Amino acid sequence: MNVGFAFQSVLLEFLGELYIFYALTMYRLARRRSFVLRFLAGATVMLVVARLAAIVYPAVGNTVLGRTGVYLLLFACSVGHVCFCLEEPAELVVLLCGVAYAAQNLCYKLYLIVWCAGDAMGLYDGWGDRFDIYYHLMYYALLALGAAGVYFFFLRRLEERITDRGIDYRTFAVTALALAVTVVLCSVEDIYFARLSTFRENRFDRWEFLVLRQSGNVFSVICCGIVLLLASKTIESRALEQEVAYLQYAIRQGQWQYEMSKDTIELINIKCHDIKYKLASLAGGPMGPEAWRDLEKSINIYDMKVETGNKLLDVLLTEKSLYCEQNGIRFSCLVDGEKLSFLEDGDLYCLFGNIVDNALEAVRAVEERQKRVVNLIVRAQGDMVTIQADNYYQGDLTFRDGLPLTTKADASSHGFGMRSIRMLVQKYGGAMTASAQDGVFHLNILLSPTPEKH
């Protein structure tokens, strides 16, 4: 067999296993548009890289540095491929790829423990000419069993806890540890124990070599297990922190909604009082033009009802409109609510509540009263529904991961509104962009009435 081809088969087998664990770890994450084409294009590049690595592997693969370099190169390229295919922050992808790498190595080392024990007892001596067939059957069966166990005990719990896309530096420490354990330790063991093997790899004529090999395998399993446990605990801790922060955010939103409702009721009471007073004046004698204009202005408050074709949205936007009237904000609303019937009521309320509240919070800080303007447009565009919101803002905006960073001092307790909007858009398989230009913030959302939920 051609040596380069043999090494290529080994590297492709490694990549195949790695991508299986990538899928187990990240299948719930948001995918980019044209995902299949992106995946196939990236897979083609990975095949070329694997072929080139197989060519140089015979020259460098017998050293720890060389073998580590080859596998790190393949891992780095695969991480780039995953980033190319997924609509997720790079730091999150790097973390989960490192976790998947540790999981793959853990299963491989578990297999080696079983294999070396069986070989020492002579269980495979009768396989004869079908040794390669039986070897691969046993290998893939045990690998599948190990992958299922790792998924149910670690990966499933880990992916369920990724409730926020923000990852802190602790997770990168976990990723670095995963790479150190899975690459360097594996390279050292494979190189030196291959030299000590007799007849075939991982078969030893001295008992102490087998004990050393098994000790190394057990140590690798323990290290990889610790890495997975650390990753799970780190993400779980992060998720709990985010849940507390979201709860605090919900409480603040409730207080804000209460204040808005109170202002709305106060506005209506004031207008009713004005109407009552002016009607009493009218009963006592004729009213002048100015008094009539005041009365008409007071009555016009009841013409501010927003009608979109969606009852829930009518209530929400009418209340926001009344609040704007009370606080000197011009709210321009052109919404075709019937096109949003595919959204669940809770999601619809949360989506537009956050969109409008974020805009109102921004324009309230604008000093120039003529710029206290919020525009909201919802309309059908072909088979899609577009949501466009524009508002002025004060100061400078900085964007990270496509979202504006909060301008408030306590950044850890704010900024959830935009993230909530993005999570809802992703839930319905939509796309969202946010930008700022010349003091105006632009939010554009594209949704499909027949979405593929993530």
Q: Residue 228 above 70 pLDDT? A: yes
Q: Residue 409 above 50 pLDDT? A: no
Which tens digits make up the pLDDT trace of 186-199?
A: 788 777 777 777 77
Q: What are phi and psi of 343, to 5 degrees?
A: -85, 140
Q: Where are the domains of the chain?
A: 3-248, 305-447
* Burial per residue of 100-115, b for 16 or more beta-carbon CB atoms within 10 angstroms, e otherwise: bbbbbbbbbbbbbbeb
Q: What local confidence, expressed as pLDDT, does residue 453 receive?
A: 47
Q: Residue 164 above 90 pLDDT? A: no
Distance between terminal CA atoms of the chain?
46
Average pLDDT of span 383-405: 85
The total of other beta-carbon atoms located within 10 Å of residue 366's CB is 18
Q: Residue 418 above 90 pLDDT? A: no
Q: Residue 298 above 60 pLDDT? A: no
Nearest to 120 by CA among 218, 210, 213, 215: 210
CATH 3.30.565.10 fits 305-447, yes or no: yes
184 exposed, middle or buried (CB, 10 Å; 0-12, 13-18, 19+)? middle
Q: What local confidence, expressed as pLDDT, does residue 22 receive?
A: 93
Q: What local confidence, expressed as pLDDT, does residue 74 receive?
A: 92
Facing residues of 381 across strands? 384
Q: What local confidence, expressed as pLDDT, does residue 320 receive?
A: 84
Which tens digits make up the pLDDT trace of 337-359?
A: 888 989 888 788 888 988 998 89
